[in-house]
Amino acid sequence: MALRPKNTPRKISSADFFVRLLLIIFSVEMLEMWTYGKMFDHLDTVPAALADSVMLVLFSAPFVWLLVIRPMGGENEAAWKAPLTAPAGMFIKVLTVIFMTEFLVMLVLPFFFDREDHLVHYFTDATLTTFVSVPLLWWIFSREQRSRIDSLADLLGSPLKLYLMLLGLIFLIDLVDMPLVAYLSSGKTVIVQKVIDSSLVTLLISPLLWWLVIRPLRRVALSEKTRADAIRAQVVEAIVIIDAEGKVESFNPAAETIFGYTA
């Protein structure tokens, strides 16, 4: 087993940087709402949305720069070791997406949830901001780091990472689902509430599972199949694959030449 030299800097995947960015957005928004949420209650919807968005950008900007943008510009994970040539344009785009997403969420949220239960409101705000910003942020990452990001397959390379990602996904979906169920099933019977709950969880989690798990795994599987087919086609010796009944399923060009198989 080859060991990495001690002086070689440890590289972290682009998907790790992306997940790190989402955690920053969620954590900073939660702390901000916990600290200044009651102040926003005394403002109208538009001023509150504007103030919340500006504060989120200001508070998250140092963490985004030090923990995501600057390390991505260098070879080292440590921000203080990375060069100062980090993509400033990407930094501005990320902050713009964070601002616009939070502003829109704050404008829409009062129409669906009241602010009486502050904890639920804070969790919903932070969760929606994180989830709504995912497509645009991933698009920015894929454009700026196209050579490093093809899909989330690098994140799925470790069973532990996949396990933790799925647990976090289930937790966040259930977190968003609870206030929605409470709003939509008010006054309904228990059976109707359970049906609404199950339907919402399915609707919320299905596109995320496809985008975060199934699609990357499908790409990896197709890539591995293409590589295996290419290797098998170049092998000089005959390779014949048969099923349980002894019927020929497939064969490589060498087998076709040696045994006279026809496609």
Cα separation, 197 vs 181, in Å, equals 6
The DSSP line for 103-122 is HHHHHHGGGT--SSSHHHHH
> Are the C-beta atoms of residues 183 and 126 closer than 8 Å to each other?
no
Indicate the SS3 state at residue 151.
coil
> Are the C-beta atoms of residues 128 and 109 closer than 8 Å to each other?
yes
Q: Tens place of pLDDT for every residue, the chain, 263 residues?
A: 444 444 444 455 667 788 889 999 999 998 888 888 878 878 888 888 888 888 899 999 999 988 888 887 654 444 444 444 456 778 888 998 999 999 888 888 877 766 666 777 788 888 888 888 888 888 887 776 554 444 455 555 556 667 777 777 777 777 767 767 777 777 778 888 888 888 888 887 887 777 777 777 777 677 766 776 666 556 555 566 767 776 766 766 666 666 665 54
pLDDT for 82 equals: 46
pLDDT for 59 equals: 92
Cα separation, 240 vs 260, in Å, equals 12
pLDDT for 252 equals: 64
Beta carbons within 8 Å of 69's beta carbon, 6+ residues apart: 86, 87, 90, 91, 94
Cα separation, 97 vs 136, in Å, equals 7
pLDDT for 98 equals: 92
Q: Please give the model's pTM, rounded to 2 decimal places.
A: 0.53
Long-range contacts of 108-113 (CB under 8 A, 24+ apart): 110/45, 112/180, 112/183, 113/179, 113/183
> Are the C-beta atoms of residues 185 and 197 closer than 8 Å to each other?
yes
